[in-house]
Amino acid sequence: MIAMTSDGVRIYVFDTTLRDGEQSPGASLNVEEKIEIARQLERLGVDVIEAGFPISSPGDFRAVQEVSKIIQNAVVCGLTRAVHKDIEVAAEALKPAKRPRIHTGLGVSDIHLKYKLRMSREEALERGVDAVKFARRFVDDVEYFLEDAGRADPEYIYRVIEAVIKAGATVINVPDTTGYTVPEEFGALIRGIMNNVPNIDKAIVSVHCHDDLGMATANTLAGVLNGARQVEVTINGIGERAGNTSLEEVVMAIHTRKDVFKNMYTGINTTEIYKTSRLVSTLTGILVPPNKAIVGANAFAHSSGIHQDGVLKERTTYEIIDPRTVGITESKIILTARSGRHGVRHRLEELGYHFEGEQFERIYEKFLELADKKKQVYDEDLEALVADAASTVVQTYELVHVQALAGDKIVPTATVKLRHANGEERTATATGTGPVDAAYSAINQIVQAPNELLEFTLQAVTEGIDAMAEVTVRVRGQDGDVFTGRGSATDIVVASAKAYVQALNKLLDKRSTSKRAALTEELERV
């Protein structure tokens, strides 16, 4: 089933940022954030949005359901194990979708069969066939994944694929689940499938690679060159462990190397790539490394004199992609307190955020407060505001004020004032190994939410000595959940304190939601 038109061969883009991408440690997104990303994915032009794994949690169920309601063009997909209950729940969540797809499947490598599934090859094959037939009772579009295909016996893979296509699978997903293969090998696996599965023309072959050896993009493209017509990717390559294949790399490789990917094209509107990358980074709290291909801060920066000279004479001497193709423009609009609603809304839309009604008003109000204090509001400030406003987390504490003393001959000391949602203000002073450590100790004295600081990242997001500092922290609460907080300010200590307070608010919100749920359960039981 190959989509060949007079324009060439269409490569379908299956985005799994909201499912596999969200499995990145600490990346958890709430339903509203998932909806925001799904809307942007549709503007980006992806063909399929994998919105979650509905049986895994009520939050995932609701995310798949809500995304199904709002998506107009793309296929909306829900993941399941090859289990009837999973499939029923996914079908229920996908009911509002215009074009629903159930993504089911099972392991195929001997390691998975023996240790994880404890099944023989025949049992697993039968289970897979049954799952596809069952899923077809609910939807016409069923994708079947062969988990750990990268380490499995190709002869067995051919048999499974033939059987599940016969049972009604419309898409066959061949994952390199552990990121183990090298491009030649993975390409040969796809070629083998195209040549040895008699009914392969009845389905689309999809590739789903992980980046454990840094070869996810290369393997995906090798798959495409050997017959795969769907690529499974995430924005910024986020995902389990070392991540998934990144959408922007695959799409731009196909776009840029037309000589290699002859006649191939995707439906992606490349000018939406950068916005989407920023949105996903802001909402997940996962920073994009500066040297990341296509969307990293340095991807189009030229620092050596020879390179700068070359680019000034002729851009193509050192640039293979015009940054405008991926939506990176030179212009950095700076807003001020005099910028009206129209200006703020326009800039937000250029950055990929679309807010209406009350939600926009909330952001605009926060914008005015910030513009009063800061005079100039940069894109990064707007992104930080959006991250706060899009969040439905109850803001138990607000940072009113932080002051720190540091130097090589004094004990670093910080004083912090926080305002509780009930209006009460509390101040604490503490010392530490540095000003940030001291500020965090002072915050801990007030908030009293035991946690472990797992990660602290600081980066400058604007240029010059007055650059905005952006801090991202990850903390682990007592019950093991990880929460991300982000803060930006021209002062490092202030940005750090904001980020920490944001992470603690998420922790407190989760704690009270869990308490409420336990209480409701107890009441229902009584």
Chain residues binding ligand KIV by CB under 6 A are 20, 145, 147, 173, 175, 177, 208, 210
Determine the length of the chain.
526
State the minimum distance, in angstroms, from the CB of residue 177 to Zn ion. 6
Pick what 274 binds: ligand KIV, Zn ion, none; C-beta below 5 to 8 Å, kind-dependent: none
User: Can you say how many angstroms the Cα of residue 4 is from the centroid of all Cα atoms in its chain?
Assistant: 30
- Least separation in angstroms between residue 376's CB and Zn ion is 42
C-alpha to C-alpha distance for 378 and 358, rounded to whole angstroms: 23
Task: Give me the least distance between CB of 437 and Zn ion, in Å please.
Answer: 38
Whole-number minimum distance, CB 172 to ligand KIV, in Å? 11
20 near Zn ion, judged by CB under 5 A: yes
Taking the complex as a whole, the smallest distance from the CB of residue 251 to ligand KIV amounts, in Å, to 20
Nearer Cβ to ligand KIV (147/437): 147
Give which of ligand KIV, Zn ion, none residue 486 binds (C-beta under 5 to 8 Å, depending on kind): none
Of 18, 8, 5, nearest to 224 by C-alpha is 8
DSSP code, position 467: P
Q: How far is the CB of 147 from ligand KIV (least distance, A)?
A: 4
Provide the minimum distance between the beta carbon of 50 and ligand KIV in the complex, in angstroms, as a whole number.
9
Q: Return the number of the residue (20 or 272) whose C-beta is nearest ligand KIV.
A: 20
Q: What are the residue ranges of helices labelled H in 79-153?
A: 84-94, 110-111, 121-136
In the chain the first and final C-alpha atoms are separated, in Å, by 56
Q: Which of ligand KIV, Zn ion, none interacts with 145 (beta carbon under 5 to 8 A by kind)?
A: ligand KIV
CA distance 318 to 388: 38
Tokens representing 434? 């540095």
The number of residues that bind Zn ion (CB under 5 A) is: 1
Nearer to Zn ion, 50 or 509 (CB): 50
Is there a contact between 273 and 327 (Cβ–Cβ < 8 Å)?
Answer: yes
141-158 burial code (b ≥16 CB/10 A, e <16): bbbbbbbbbbbbeeebbb
Q: Minimum Å distance from CB 368 to ligand KIV?
A: 44
Q: Which amino acid is at 69?
A: K
Closer by beta carbon to Zn ion, 215 or else 384: 215
Q: Which positions from 486 through 515 interact with Zn ion, judged by CB under 5 A?
A: none
Using rule CB under 5 A, residue 33 touches Zn ion: no
Instruction: State how far the Cα of 275 lies from the Cα of 271, in Å rounded to an integer.
Output: 8
Question: What residue type is 167 in one-letter code?
Answer: A
Whichever of 216 and 475 has its CB closer to ligand KIV, that residue is 216
Q: How far is the CB of 19 from ligand KIV (least distance, A)?
A: 8
> Among residues 147 and 388, whose Cβ is nearest to ligand KIV?
147
Of the candidate spans 16-24, 96-104, 426-434, 452-460, the one that interacts with Zn ion by CB under 5 A turns out to be 16-24
Q: How crowded is residue 307: how many other Cβ atoms within 10 Å of its Cβ?
A: 14
Q: CA-to-CA distance for 482 and 495, rounded, in angstroms?
A: 20
Q: What are phi and psi of 5, to 5 degrees?
A: -120, 180
The region of 13-21, 45-53, 141-149, 456-464 touching Zn ion under the rule CB under 5 A is: 13-21
Nearer Cβ to ligand KIV, position 20 or 383? 20
Residue 170's nearest CA partner among 189, 143, 147 is 143
Q: Which is nearer to ligand KIV, 117 or 333 (CB)?
A: 117
Nearest residue (CB) to Zn ion, 128 versus 239: 239
For residue 163 the two structure tokens come to 């059987």
**Which residue stretch of 14-22, 26-34, 105-113, 140-148 sits at the interface with Zn ion (rule: CB under 5 A)?**
14-22
Torsion of CA 133, 137, 143, 146, to 10 degrees: -30
Q: Which two tokens stand for residue 438?
A: 């001291």
Q: From the CB of 454, what's the least distance to ligand KIV, in Å?
A: 24
Q: Residue 269: helix, strand or coil by DSSP?
A: coil
In angstroms, what CA-CA distances link 350 with 64, 343, 504?
A: 27, 11, 31
173 contact, one of Zn ion, ligand KIV, none, CB 5-8 Å limit per kind: ligand KIV
Nearer to Zn ion, 208 or 498 (CB): 208
Question: Smallest gap, in angstroms, from Cβ of residue 503 to ligand KIV?
Answer: 28
- Alpha carbon of residue 352 to chain centroid: 15
Which residues ranging from 298 to 327 are in contact with Zn ion (CB under 5 A)? none
86 binds, among ligand KIV, Zn ion, none (CB under 5 to 8 A by kind): none
Cα gap 24→242, rounded to integer Å: 9
Nearer CB in complex with Zn ion: 39/151:
151
The beta strands (E) that lie in 260-325 are given as 264-265
347 binds, options ligand KIV, Zn ion, none, Cβ within 5 to 8 A by partner type: none
The order of strands in the sheet holding 482-489 is 451-460, 469-477, 482-489
Q: In the bound complex, which residue of the shown chain has the CB atom lying closest to Zn ion?
A: 20
Binding site residues, Zn ion, CB under 5 A: 20
